[in-house]
Amino acid sequence: MATAEGVQAVKVLIAGGAGFIGSTVASACLDAGMSPVILDSLVTGRREFTAGRSFYEGDIADGPLIDRIFAEHPDIGAVIHCAALIVVPDSVADPVGYYRANVAKSLEFAAHLLRNGGARLIFSSSAAIYRPGADLSVDEDSPVDPASPYARTKAVCEAMFADIAAAEPIRVLSLRYFNPIGADPKMRTGLQLRRPTHALGKLIQASQDGVPFVITGTDWPTRDGTGLRDYIHVWDLAAAHVAALTRFDTLPGPVTVINLGTGTGTTVRELAAAFNQVADRPVQVREAGRRPGDIAGACTRTGRAQRLLGWRPQYDLTEGIRHSLQWAALRDEVLSGEPARRLSPPER
């Protein structure tokens, strides 16, 4: 595959490219001289994030549409599949809907890609599929034991794509994301939701509303008893996709799995302290018990991403918080109203 510096511009189809991560990946591709083609149903994505970009509104399971995209862009060299529903509690309430949206449609999508000669697939997977060990760190060989229907859809898709790659002329890279924060540093895109429900979203909300931030759960097996996450700046995630596109043909197998995290776990207490260093309006912290479905969390033991992609995160936690705050202040200028569906669950 031609590299970013190569003679031929890399054209990449990004399914889910109007969402938080996919739109950031599209921006990173553009900045690297690649040409993204966006396919998105806008079920949670935003049309504003596709402005000025090649955009097809529709479903990944829509065969005639995928055929049309490939007919109009025969030079698509790779596909990034970010399209999914991602709200853990919704997946518990509606497993049929989630398996249909994330698994059945991904299977259809794979068949449509094969028919059109799609040979390189990068799949957005999740660290939520792991069962972490006692020290809460995981690597790509750690046990897979998803704790929610949402996470299970990701694990099932990985297994399904691996079986397909073993039999068909397609190679698959699954990127297992940890906990994305921040926004495009150029503020083209960020989280769609006005009031995200993950810990950083709640810190921002508490700061805006002048109310205390409530830590839910202080008896986890972590250094200070609060949940631990591996917060990765979304621009670093996006940069990893650019690196993966550039190096795709050097990856070892028909199937490769790579964790994308910083390698540093941050507890909720540490996140709140870091937030108060950055925010104009610091928050007071209160403590409460665990909520149903909460987990201790995990961080990655990095190594493979650096070895195979030559990638390592460039942004630290403080910059992620700063960019999230900046986006929260700008969001209503870029986006009007709420997306149709709830986004940004506590755990993904």
Ligand X SMILES: NC(=O)c1ccc[n+]([C@@H]2O[C@H](COP(=O)([O-])OP(=O)(O)OC[C@H]3O[C@@H](n4cnc5c(N)ncnc54)[C@H](O)[C@@H]3O)[C@@H](O)[C@H]2O)c1
Q: Which residues would be at the binding site for ligand X (CB under 6 A)?
A: 15-16, 18-22, 40-45, 59-60, 82-84, 86, 101, 105, 124, 126, 177, 179-180, 192, 343, 348
User: Under 8 Å CB-to-CB from 235, ≥6 apart: which residues?
Assistant: 24, 28, 182, 183, 184, 185, 314, 315, 323
Q: How far is the CB of 127 from ligand X (least distance, A)?
A: 7
- For residue 113, CA distances in Å to 72, 121, 266, 339 come to 14, 9, 39, 28
Q: How far is the CB of 321 from ligand X (least distance, A)?
A: 16
Radius of gyration for the alpha carbons in the chain, expressed in angstroms and rounded: 19
How near is the Cβ of 273 to ligand X at its closest, in Å? 22
| CB nearer ligand X, residue 32 or residue 82 | 82
Nearer to ligand X by Cβ, of 210 and 337: the residue is 337
Neighbours of 165 (CB within 10 A): 19
Nearest Cα to 25, choosing from 192, 215, 292, 243? Answer: 243
Measure the CA angle with vertex 161, ends 155 and 164; round to 5°: 145
Q: Which of 56, 98, 130, 150 is catalytic?
A: 150
For tokens 């068949």, the residue is: 111
How far is C-alpha 311 from the chain's CA centre? 16
Active site residue 150: yes
Minimum distance, C-beta of residue 156 to ligand X, in the bound complex (Å): 12
CA separation for the pair 236, 291 (Å, rounded): 30
The distance of closest approach from Cβ of residue 11 to ligand X in the complex, given in angstroms and rounded to an integer, is: 19
Is the Cβ of residue 192 or residue 302 nearer to ligand X in the bound state?
192
8 Å CB contact between 226 and 216: no
CB of 308 to ligand X, least distance (A): 19
The DSSP call for residue 61 is T
Q: Contact 127/230 with Cβ under 8 angstroms?
A: yes
Nearer to ligand X, 81 or 285 (CB): 81
* Separation of alpha carbons 175 and 126, rounded Å: 7
Cβ proximity to ligand X: between 108 and 287 the closer is 108
- Cα separation of 156 and 143, whole Å? 14
- Alpha-carbon distance 131 to 144, whole Å? 6
Distance of alpha carbon 117 from alpha carbon 99, whole angstroms: 26
The 3-state DSSP class for residue 185 equals: coil
Using the minimum distance from each CB to ligand X, give the nearer residue, 267 or 285.
267
Catalytic residue annotation: 150
